[in-house]
């Protein structure tokens, strides 16, 4: 039985770091294990221009504790006013690694997102030309569509038509939550990939709602039925280069989660690697963990794999703090709801 595992240092291809006191509180949780992360731009106000991305990158680097190494891979928040030249210049400078599409109203801080995709056609065409990936929050926001169906409907009515309108556009379907999404990405050709979160490998919708409502399990896209979770597990552990880790670790202070209208987001930065080792061991796929966390995403983003390694060790049940303290308030750490025996060796 494997008791330890050394893998290339992982990357997180979908991460919320926030800003200010929250940034300072959560950044070490990611930088402890991850070498790089695609940093989401949904600040208030959002990170829209190359200049804003540069300033945000500098704030992230300034918040990094001495002695820690971490490379933020910056993204721009796509709006209907985004300038294709600004995007291309920020990409050419190596500053920006992707552009993020939030359909307006889909999730936390997405009101400045895109309402009409035809208005960003010129930006998407330029991105296809230069090979810059579009990270997609893949949910429709029309009120008639049930929240559990929003991803599946998005694939047919938004994503597929968009990809046909912009041949060659490289797309990452973020935080995949459905079997339909897995199937679409699997058949999508070399320009399409998907991130999968840690918590969507653990949760189905019962975990959120049975026996009382669990605000710390509420995220968007919301966790779906069990068969979807199993499809995600098969995709993540199946040695398929098109699927890779994007934790979508999304910190909110507890008072904004545990309230009458709680924010969406699970905070998994602290224990993601331990939980993933647990999941991959359950699926008899520990030998595929490195591909999922450290190789597949880098390859899609055309980055070299990280030179360093981390060592995961299996020992007695591991305990994490229930919450981390940040200057913006306490943030509850994701509870996988089962004993986990793996930890990342310091
Ligand atoms: C994210 C956040 O809080 O910024 N929330 C979430 O539930 N995942 C936004 C997002 O990625 O949808
Ligand atoms: Zn996110």
CB within 8 A of 168, min separation 6: which ones?
A: 128, 129, 191
Q: Which residues lie below 8 Å from residue 282, measured CB to CB, with a gap of 6+?
A: none
Task: Identify the domain containing residue 268 by its residue range.
Answer: 4-345
Query: Cα–Cα distance between 248 and 37 in angstroms, integer?
Result: 10
Phi, psi (degrees; rounded to nearest 5) at 172:
-115, 115
For a ligand 1 pocket test, name from 106, 137, 264, 269 the mutation site with the most ligand atoms within 8 angstroms of its C-beta: 264
DSSP character at residue 307: S
Nearest CA residue ID for atom 9, ligand 1: 108
Q: Hey, which residues does 72 pair with through a beta bridge? A: 37
Pocket residue to mutate for ligand 1, from 41, 105, 107, 331, most atoms within 8 A of Cβ:
107
Mind giving me the DSSP string for 182-221? HHHHHTS-TTEEEEE-SGGGT--HHHHHTTS--GGG--SS
Q: Is 12 a catalytic residue?
A: no
Q: How far is residue 111's CA from residue 136's CA, in Å, rounded to a whole number?
A: 15
Domains of the chain: total: 1
One of 11, 248, 254, 335 is an active-site residue; which one? 248
Q: How many residues does the chain have?
A: 346
Structure tokens at 63: 């918040």
Residue found under tokens 């200049």: 51
pLDDT in tens, the chain (346 residues): 659 999 999 999 999 999 999 999 999 999 999 999 999 999 999 999 999 999 999 999 999 999 999 999 999 999 999 999 999 999 999 999 999 999 988 887 888 899 999 999 999 999 999 999 999 999 999 999 999 999 999 999 999 999 999 999 999 999 999 999 999 999 999 999 999 999 999 999 999 999 999 999 999 999 999 999 999 999 999 999 999 999 999 999 999 999 999 999 999 999 999 999 999 999 999 999 999 999 999 999 999 999 999 999 999 899 999 999 999 999 999 999 999 999 999 7
- The span from the first CA to the last CA of the chain, in angstroms, equals 22
Structure tokens at 6: 């050394």
* Interacting residues of 17 by C-beta distance below 8 A, sequence separation 6+: 23, 26, 27, 30, 37, 39, 40, 60, 72
Name the one residue in this structure whose structure tokens are 């893998």. Answer: 7
Which residues are within 8 A (CB) of 22 and not within 5 positions of it... i.e. 6 or more apart?
A: 251, 253, 326, 327, 328, 331
Query: Which CATH number fits the domain that encloses residue 132?
Result: 3.20.20.140
């Amino acid at each position: 039985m494997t008791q330890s595992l050394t893998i290339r240092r992982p990357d997180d291809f979908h991460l919320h770091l926030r800003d200010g006191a929250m940034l300072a509180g959560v950044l070490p949780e990611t930088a402890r294990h991850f070498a790089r992360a695609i940093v989401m731009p949904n600040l208030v106000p959002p990170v829209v221009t190359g200049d804003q991305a540069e300033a945000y990158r500098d704030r992230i680097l300034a918040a990094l504790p001495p002695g820690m190494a971490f490379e933020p891979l910056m993204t721009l928040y796509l709006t209907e006013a985004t300038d294709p030249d600004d995007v291309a210049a920020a990409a050419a400078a190596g500053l920006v690694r992707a552009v993020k599409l939030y359909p307006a109203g889909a999730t936390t801080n997405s009101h400045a997102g895109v309402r009409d995709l035809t208005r960003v056609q010129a930006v998407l065409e330029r991105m296809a030309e230069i090979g810059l990936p579009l990270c997609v929050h893949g949910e429709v926001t029309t009120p008639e569509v049930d929240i559990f169906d929003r991803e599946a409907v998005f694939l047919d009515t938004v994503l597929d038509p968009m990809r046909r309108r912009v041949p060659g556009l490289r797309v990452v379907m973020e935080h995949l939550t459905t079997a339909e999404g897995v199937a679409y990405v699997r058949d999508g050709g070399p320009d399409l990939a998907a991130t999968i979160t840690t918590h969507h490998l653990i949760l189905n919708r019962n975990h959120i709602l049975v026996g009382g409502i669990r605000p710390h399990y509420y995220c968007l896209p919301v966790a779906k039925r069990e068969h979807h979770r199993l499809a995600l597990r098969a995709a993540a552990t199946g040695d398929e280069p098109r699927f890779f880790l994007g934790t979508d670790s999304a910190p909110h202070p507890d008072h904004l989660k545990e309230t009458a209208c709680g924010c969406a987001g699970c905070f998994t930065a602290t224990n993601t690697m331990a939980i993933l080792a647990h999941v991959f061991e359950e699926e008899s796929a520990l030998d595929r963990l490195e591909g999922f966390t450290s190789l597949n995403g880098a390859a899609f983003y055309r980055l070299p794999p990280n030179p360093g390694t981390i060592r995961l060790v299996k020992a007695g049940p591991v305990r994490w703090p229930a919450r981390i303290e940040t200057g913006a308030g306490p943030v509850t750490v994701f509870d996988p709801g089962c004993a986990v025996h793996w930890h990342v060796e310091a």
